[in-house]
Amino acid sequence: MTKFQGFPSGGRVQYTAIPGVFFSDVLPQITDIDELKTTLHIIAVLYQRKGYPRFIRYDELMGDAVLMGGLKGSEETLRGGLKKAVERGTLLSLSVEMEIVSGDIYFINDESSRQAVEKIKSGGLKLPGLKAGKSAPVPSEPLPDIFTLYEQNIGMLTPMIADELRDAEKSYPEDWIRDAIKEAVLHNKRSIKYIARILQNWSIEGRSDGTYQRDSKKTDPDKYFKGKYGHMVRR
């Protein structure tokens, strides 16, 4: 390893602006050195670029001797670093068709770039030599379980209510229970009994694409209070 001789001073040194939130919120979470090298390098390159929007192509990164030297010349390592940075939300990625080859372009994930990406995807912003494709997929946040969903939207989760939800899990698909909770919230009928009545009604009448097979055009919020078991549901 060659020892670094120190940073120059005065007018000869060039600085790169890095948002303070990077050091407080992002850096403590990064454990992969290749992700860190790739992210910092892209920030430095884009900071020096002019015009709008500021982005860098994948083939430019592959041809960057400084970056690839730090990644030991491995394209697999570069792809891994980029993937982790996009998944973390530090970078934005957009797949495009170029005049010669197709590939991805990368942006710093800030407000200006987010707006630019949406405009490119919708056709509202044209880039010379580029045609927008699809953005690289980013894993979505996991859905809350039905117990958390109940607490967030209906009310306190008591042991008895938790037991009723567990019983519902044994009888109905999880997406039915989620949709029943949403239905209860929609009609401001926030009770476990109302949710149970919705599920029972769906099991009798059936569902199709998230709607009732019967009376699908108009949903009466009081329909769950009617019928044989209506007296069991409290308003």
- Whether the pLDDT of residue 212 is over 50: the answer is no
Q: Choose one of 135, 156, 187: the last residue of a domain.
A: 135
Residue 98, sorted as left (phi over 0), alpha (psi -120 to 50) or beta, turns out to be beta
Residue 110 structure tokens:
């800030």
> Residue 192 pLDDT more than 90?
yes
- CATH code (residue 215): 1.10.10
Can you give the pLDDT at residue 103?
Answer: 80
Q: Is residue 3 part of a domain?
A: no
- 1 in a domain, yes or no? no
- Same domain membership, residue 23 and residue 127: yes
Q: Tell me the average pLDDT of the chain.
A: 81
Asked if residue 98 and residue 78 are part of one domain, the reply reads: yes
Tally the domains of the chain.
Answer: 2
Q: Domain range holding 71?
A: 17-135
What are 12-52's pLDDT values in tens digits?
A: 677 788 888 999 999 999 999 999 999 999 999 998 888 88
Amino acid at 174: E
- Looking at the structure, do residues 117 and 87 belong to the same domain, yes or no? yes
Tell me, yes or no, whether 207 and 122 share the same domain: no
Mean pLDDT value of segment 49-66: 90
Higher pLDDT, 205 or 42: 42
Residue 64 lies in a domain: yes
**Same-domain pairing of 115 and 164:** no
Q: What is the pLDDT of residue 145?
A: 86
> Could you tell me if 117 and 151 lie in one domain?
no
Residue 215: what pLDDT? 42
CA-to-CA distance for 156 and 159, rounded, in angstroms?
A: 10
Same domain? For 97 and 124 the reply is yes
Is 218 a residue whose pLDDT tops 80? no
Q: What is the mean pLDDT of residues 114-142?
A: 70
Last residue of a domain, one of 85, 103, 135: 135
Handedness of CA 99, 116, 133, 41 (dihedral sign): positive
pLDDT at 209 over 60: no
Residue 31 lies in a domain: yes
Q: Are 73 and 111 in contact (CB under 8 A)?
A: no
CA distances from 73 to 61, 77, 124 (A): 11, 8, 37
- Give the amino acid at 150: Y
Report the predicted TM-score, pTM, of the whole model to 2 decimal places. 0.54
Query: Is the domain of 118 the same as that of 92?
Result: yes
pLDDT for 142 equals 66
| Calpha distance 212→128 (Å, rounded) | 50
| Residue 195 amino acid letter | I
Query: If you average pLDDT over residues 69-82, what whole number do you get?
Result: 93
Say whether both 151 and 219 belong to one domain. yes
Residue 114 host element (H or E): helix 111-122
- pLDDT digit string, tens, across residues 141-161: 566 788 888 988 898 888 899
No. of helices (H) and no. of strands (E), the chain: 10, 6
Summarize pLDDT for 93-117 with one digit per residue, the tens: 998 876 655 689 999 999 999 998 9
Both structure tokens of 189: 């009928």
Task: Choose between 213 and 194: higher pLDDT.
Answer: 194
Does residue 215 lie within any of the structural domains?
yes
Is residue 6 one of the residues assigned to a domain?
no
Banded model confidence at residue 216, pLDDT cuts 50, 70, 90: very low
* Helix (H) or strand (E) run with residue 107 in it: strand 102-108
Residues 97 and 188 in one domain: no
